[in-house]
Structure 1
Amino acid sequence: MSRRHATILASVLLLIGMLSAVAVVRIPYSELSPGPTVNTLGEYGGEPVLSIDGRESFDTTGHLNMTTVRVTSADYRMTLGEALYGWLADDAAVVPHDSLYPDGTTAEEAEEENAEEFSRSQESAKVAALGELDIPVETRTVVQAVIKDGPAEGTLRAGDVIKTVDGTPVQAPADVAKLVTEHEPGEQVIFTVVPVKTATAAEEAGEDPAEGATREVTVTTTAAEEDGRALVGIQAGTAHTFPFDIDIQLADVGGPSAGLMFALGIVDKLTPEDLTGGTFVAGTGTINGQGEVGPIGGITMKTRAAEEAGARYFLTPAANCATAAADRPGNLTLVKVGSMDDAMAALKDIREDTTDALPRCAAN
């Protein structure tokens, strides 16, 4: 074989090897791409996304679309070729796998966490919406989670209403941690609780769940590994009793980022005037019970999804504004919002066609 032929053969074999590597070699990266958008005022899978029972609701027009991001699953590893394609594509983002699934999170754990966050976001959206309308909501402090193999396992249950700790009334979840950490590790803490079954039965009967039969539970504290403070192995949280039923039906969606759009959809359903004036508005953002809007991930994928769906305006969390504005798709107007009040004011400008007053996102 001549030297020239040997060089050509070596080059061909090298090329084959490189192409094989691109097609076969797996790398620790994940891909984000635009997901579906859903009008919170409309239907999904033939069912209303938002339905209200027990209070007058009103017909709506226009769109208040929540937006989503498609993400490769926790147990999927991209090939080098897929990653290269994603890096070059305008409608995808390739990021380190650990940035989405830290500490070796499994697909099942990620799905469970997303479902829990989605459920909490619905609860917060309802509270924020009713707060915007000055409709009272009953609030109580509950055991949100019991840590596996912790001191409280088997004695306290998720959903138990915490009335007192060592006889001191509990007004908020932070009170529980404060009262427990006043103890030394090894000391006993006495909880007065309404058991979850009693609380649930009272709520279903339309009664105050905190007025059911209470019981005392004694838990011996242990020391936290990181700083030695006393703990009992529970996570306290807040639960609410709503004055009427608000049902949110949306399958195959997880995470907390739809909170703002759910809250606005609920307000729109409960008020005679259309919030959008018939305009196609989309958006994203977490929301808490005080109506504060928080940042989300995958903002540029969500703005692309909204623009492709036909949205004219996009309600953008203030913390995501610079990133969104740096890669704004088409003629989509990015509106900066930091609270429920900001979003309501923006929608007023949109429906009254006074959009020069809108706070727009700007790139740094």
Structure 2
Amino acid sequence: MLSRLTRLPRPTALAVCAAPVLALFAVAALAPLPFVVAVPGPTADVLGSDQGKPVITVTGAPVRDTKGQLRMTTIRATGPSSSMKLHELVDHWFRSDQAVMPREAVYPTGGSDKEIEQHNLEEMSQSQSAAEAAALGYLHKDPKSVKVDLNLADVGGPSAGLLFTLGIVDKIDGDGSGGDLTGGRSIAGTGTISADGTVGAVGGVGLKTQAARRDGATVFLVPKAECSDAKSELPEGLQLIPVTSLTDAVDALRALNRGEGVPSC
């Protein structure tokens, strides 16, 4: 025997259906969400000094006086243990000077704040070793004879690798280049580096371009795979140059100094 369904009046039915939806929105509005807010961070000239000590020190090879700047760029994000609610997320979402990012995109390793800080410092150390290997390989210098010391406090992660490498290349004299890389400009950029000179993507490039322009850069080296992200919020007066390798970056800067055309995004 079929049971008989009772038809509710339409307004009552709508109210009954809406109740779970409203409850869901209420929970979502109050629940912490796995996102962080990032903003443009400080930049640092790797050709300069940090806390009274040169960022790059070379022994075992002649070094030249450099002109201009090579500025590595950073972002600052809320901590890995922080959380945001839906209304806070909406407040930050539409601001061009901030980015709402998935927590795992900024802190992929998870763990406590202290564990993540230690991981970032280890990544920075590995990045510096790769930068030294890539630069000396490019310059055909014997790593047993030429030593490089890199000193930059309060910065973690691997994204300064490309700029460290370019700084070493620019510092070491006798590479047959006939001049420094910057041509007196303020050059900024980002990108990981591997020992063979391959440049890798890093994330947060839209915010890093803002940091670069804020601190006076006119040229920004960006991993080619992140061109579209870099263009999305590109500050006026900042020229983007896409690169996939150390050779790309050096060749582009040399061409820029000669007044020749360079790649663009």
TM-score tier, shorter chain, comes to 0.7 to 0.9
* Pairing of 1:320-331 with structure 2 (within 5 A): 320-331=226-237
* Pairing of 1:89-238 with structure 2 (within 5 A): 89-102=95-108, 104-137=110-143
Contact 2:68–2:183 (CA<8 Å) still a contact in 1?
yes
Query: How far apart, in 2, do the equivalents of 1:38 and 1:131 lie?
Result: 25
Cross-structure match for 2:207: 301
TM-score, length of structure 1 as denominator length: 0.61
Query: How far apart, in 2, do the equivalents of 1:102 and 1:288 lie?
Result: 20
Shift of 1:48: 1.1
Cross-structure match for 2:196: 290
Contact 2:109–2:116 (CA<8 Å) still a contact in 1?
no
3-state SS, counterpart of residue 65 of structure 1: strand
Letter in 2 for 1:349: A
Shift of 1:336: 0.8
Contact 1:279–1:351 (CA<8 Å) still a contact in 2?
no
Query: How far apart, in 2, do the equivalents of 1:275 and 1:103 lie?
Result: 36
Cross-structure match for 2:18: none
Shift of 1:52: 1.4
3-state SS, counterpart of residue 42 of structure 2: strand
Shift of 1:104: 4.4
Shift of 1:287: 0.7
* Pairing of 1:305-320 with structure 2 (within 5 A): 305-320=211-226
Which deviations, in whole Å up to 9, do the C-alpha atoms of 1:21-63 show, x marking residues without a partner? Answer: 98x8643220111111111101122221111123221111101
TM-score, length of structure 2 as denominator length: 0.82
Q: Does 1:83 align with 2:89?
A: yes
Query: How far apart, in 2, do the equivalents of 1:288 and 1:332 lie?
Result: 26
Give the unaligned 5+ runs of structure 1. Answer: 1-20, 138-241
Cross-structure match for 1:254: 156
Which deviations, in whole Å up to 9, do the C-alpha atoms of 1:113-136 show, x marking residues without a partner? Answer: 111110010001001111111113
Contact 1:28–1:96 (CA<8 Å) still a contact in 2?
yes
Query: How far apart, in 1, do the equivalents of 2:53 and 2:95 lie?
Result: 35
3-state SS, counterpart of residue 256 of structure 2: helix
Letter in 2 for 1:247: D
Shift of 1:79: 4.7
Give the unaligned 5+ runs of structure 2. Answer: 1-27
Letter in 2 for 1:94: V
Q: Cα 1:302–1:103, aligned 2, differ >3 Å: closer, same or farther?
A: closer
Query: How far apart, in 2, do the equivalents of 1:34 and 1:343 lie?
Result: 23
Give the share of equivalent positions with the same residue, in percent.
44
Q: Cα 1:98–1:258, aligned 2, differ >3 Å: closer, same or farther?
A: closer
3-state SS, counterpart of residue 77 of structure 1: coil
